[in-house]
Amino acid sequence: LMAALARSVLVTGSNRGIGLELVRQLAASPWPPQHIFATCRHPEGPRGKALQELAAQHPSIKLVQLDIVNLPSIRGAVRAVGSHLKDQGLNLLINNAGISSHATLRSLDSQQMLSVFATNVVGPLQVAKEFLPLLEKAAKGAGKEGLSCSRAAVINVSTKLGSIGLCLGVLEAPMYPYRATAPSPGPGCSRAALSQALGSSCLSPSAPQPPLTVDASVGGMLKVLSSLSEKDTGTFLDWEGKVVPW
């Protein structure tokens, strides 16, 4: 990255996978954000061990408890982040937390569908809504116009499984609940949705490329984030910046 992506960044679901790697690469970049808010449901528990070790190495990383399906938890996170930022707003919110669920049409049940919907669709929208005042504060204080991660932006990490246009129904994995909710809030609500091309599940089944590593995928995503502008509002992009059909 040629310059700091943003002064302050918040990543949900940051205790493993894509979220953890986002936090790691942001903190290790030549121009790291001043504040990296790494959130997950249990940041101080055993599942947050990798995150705790990372935070011990980088003072810019602040661990914040955040359960995206629990409104009091979200509001508590907003207060915690606001107390760190003081009169500064939040520049970049990366909605990364989500769950996948394997179920065939025969085996799925309504509670399973509702649970996945609450986490993958309602959760990111609720988080964006509650953090909106801090995002607006950052936008007003930026002294410039237009969409950019250094000003104020909401990024929803999704997957190509959620693309209706790609119609990846030929994939063998039976994931009815996940595929129904994978686009997250959708084109009308997102600033930009980044597809995480991680493994064969997020590449075209006929693609010749081997599965991506998390490291390479996140590295590509951060390059795409640094190049976003007003024209990218509402777009669905992959890790290389290529447009994915909704």
CA distances from 93 to 39, 44, 118, 129, 130 (A): 11, 21, 19, 11, 11
At residue 193, does pLDDT exceed 50? no
Q: Is 245 contained in some domain?
A: no
At residue 201, does pLDDT exceed 50? no
Q: Which domain holds residue 172?
A: 8-237
- pLDDT value for 54: 97
Q: What is the pTM of this model?
A: 0.80
- pLDDT value for 78: 98
- What is the mean predicted confidence (pLDDT) over 164-173? 52
Q: Is 207 contained in some domain?
A: yes
Q: Is 35 contained in some domain?
A: yes
Q: Is 48 contained in some domain?
A: yes
Count of domains in the chain? 1
Share of the chain above pLDDT 90, in %: 41
Q: Is 106 contained in some domain?
A: yes
Each residue of 119-150: pLDDT tens digit?
Answer: 888 999 999 999 999 999 998 887 666 667 78
Each residue of 27-60: pLDDT tens digit?
Answer: 999 999 999 999 999 999 999 999 999 999 999 9
The number of beta carbons lying within 10 Å of the beta carbon of residue 144 is: 8
- pLDDT value for 63: 98
Question: What's the N-to-C CA distance of the chain in angstroms?
Answer: 28
CATH number at residue 84: 3.40.50.720
Q: Is 2 contained in some domain?
A: no
- pLDDT value for 162: 55
Could you tell me which residue, 47 or 189, shows the higher pLDDT? 47
Each residue of 62-100: pLDDT tens digit?
Answer: 999 999 999 999 999 999 999 999 989 999 999 998 777
- pLDDT value for 186: 46
Residue with tokens 């509670």: 111
- pLDDT value for 168: 53
Share of the chain above pLDDT 70, in %: 72
Residue with tokens 């600033």: 191
Q: Is 215 contained in some domain?
A: yes
Determine the Cα–Cα distance for residues 133 and 170; give it in Å rounded to an integer: 42
- What is the mean predicted confidence (pLDDT) over 203-219? 60
Q: Is 79 contained in some domain?
A: yes
Determine the Cα–Cα distance for residues 182 and 197; give it in Å rounded to an integer: 13
